[in-house]
Amino acid sequence: MRLPCVLLLCLGAATVSAAFVLSPSHSWTKLILTHHWPKTFCDMERCNSTINSWTLHGLWPDKGQSCNSSWQFNSSLIEDIIPDMKKSWPNLLHPSSTAFWKYEWQKHGTCAAILEELNSQHKYFSKALELYHKMDLDSVLRKFNITPSPELYSFPAIESAIEDFYGVKPKIQCVHHDKGDEAQSLGQIEICFHSDFTLLDCDKETVGVGLRFGKGAARASEFRVCDHDAPVFYPPL
Ligand SMILES: *[C@@H]1O[C@H](CO)[C@@H](O)[C@H](O)[C@H]1NC(C)=O
Ligand SMILES: *[C@@H]1O[C@H](CO)[C@@H](O)[C@H](O)[C@H]1NC(C)=O
Ligand SMILES: *[C@@H]1O[C@H](CO)[C@@H](O)[C@H](O)[C@H]1NC(C)=O
């Protein structure tokens, strides 16, 4: 079971209790392919991104975190896919660093690795890239005329475009602005898979707290499930 942890308490609790909560069999059933919109992320984190496409945040089992602390990330094991990693799964805060991939491997990859198809760093990262390219979220949104724009979208228009195309429910997260500004910025889109990599409805009830990576990882990000009734800003560069 997912710990009923809330924002700041979450990482600390998970770190302390991971060993006995999550072992011996990490019984995840679902994989979550998480995309983020660099402009929204960077507006929130004060980074500069000139990337005008959805990039990977991660490939996450729905249960389990940091399942094998002795399984160290080693970037030389994925050397051949680094060019694609830099493009499709960039570290938006520190573009030349491998710290993001290391974090994702240790936190999520080591749990995903119970599956034979994901039981090495090369398999895990390659599979994530493969799914990412196959989903081709940018093209799907464009097909439905949903493009970065100063105009606001209705949330159902975005949700139904994705749902109609893939035939499953995504989970869509936004950054909610301060009171008085009713729009929310489109931030993160999750597409879910069974462990055989066929598509599956995402569970919208799950509170989508995307914890941040790297320094200050104990702070939770501000991505939350979008408000169904509020207009959505899909920020252009
Ligand atoms: C982002 O870009 C602006 C304008 O080019 C620059 O002034 C600022 O220092 C940059 N910030 C970071 C964190 O790189
Ligand atoms: C954890 O990772 C190490 C290093 O790859 C491996 O030897 C070990 O079998 C793994 N342990 C489990 C429980 O998967
Ligand atoms: C990383 O992997 C390479 C290739 O297998 C190996 O030669 C190297 O020793 C590894 N580095 C570490 C720190 O484990």
Residue-wise pLDDT tens digits, 195-212: 999 999 997 554 444 444
Determine the pLDDT at residue 180. 59
Q: 11 alpha carbon to ligand 3 midpoint, in Å? A: 29
List the residue whose alpha carbon is closest to atom 7 of ligand 2: 71
Query: 7 lies in a domain?
Result: no
Residue 116 DSSP symbol: G
pTM summary value: 0.84
On whether the CB atoms of residues 174 and 191 are closer than 8 A, the answer is no
175: closest CA among 208, 204, 153, 132? 208
Dist. CA 90–CA 97, nearest whole Å = 9
Query: 88 lies in a domain?
Result: yes
Determine the pLDDT at residue 1. 35
Dist. CA 191–CA 209, nearest whole Å = 15
Domain of residue 150, residue span: 26-233
Dist. CA 4–CA 154, nearest whole Å = 31
Q: 115 alpha carbon to ligand 2 midpoint, in Å? A: 13
Determine the pLDDT at residue 185. 96
Mutate to test the pocket of ligand 1, among 41, 43, 48, 97 (most ligand atoms within 8 A of CB): 48
Instruction: Count up the domains in the chain and report the number.
Output: 1
Q: 47 alpha carbon to ligand 1 midpoint, in Å? A: 7
Q: pLDDT below 50 — which residues of the chain?
A: 1-24, 206-220
Query: 6 lies in a domain?
Result: no
* Spatial CB neighbours of 110, under 8 Å, sequence gap ≥ 6: 66, 67, 68, 69, 71
Q: Is 96 in the pocket of ligand 1 (CB under 6 A)?
A: no
Query: 21 lies in a domain?
Result: no
Dist. CA 211–CA 219, nearest whole Å = 7
Residue 87 DSSP symbol: H
Query: 17 lies in a domain?
Result: no
Helix (H) or strand (E) holding 58: strand 55-61
Classify strands 171-176 and 223-225 as parallel, antiparallel or unpaired: antiparallel
Beta partners for 34?
58, 190
Query: 196 lies in a domain?
Result: yes
Dist. CA 63–CA 103, nearest whole Å = 16
Q: Is 25 in the pocket of ligand 3 (CB under 6 A)?
A: no
Q: 108 alpha carbon to ligand 2 midpoint, in Å? A: 14
Dist. CA 224–CA 188, nearest whole Å = 9
Query: 1 lies in a domain?
Result: no
Domain containing residue 162: CATH number: 3.90.730.10
Determine the pLDDT at residue 27. 82
Q: Is 74 in the pocket of ligand 3 (CB under 6 A)?
A: yes
* Structure tokens, 22: 């999550």
Dist. CA 143–CA 83, nearest whole Å = 27
108 in catalytic set: yes
Task: Starting from the CA of residue 70, give the closest ligand.
Answer: 2
Determine the pLDDT at residue 179. 60
Query: 15 lies in a domain?
Result: no
Q: Is 52 in the pocket of ligand 3 (CB under 6 A)?
A: no
Place of tokens 């724009």: 149
Helix (H) or strand (E) holding 199: strand 199-200
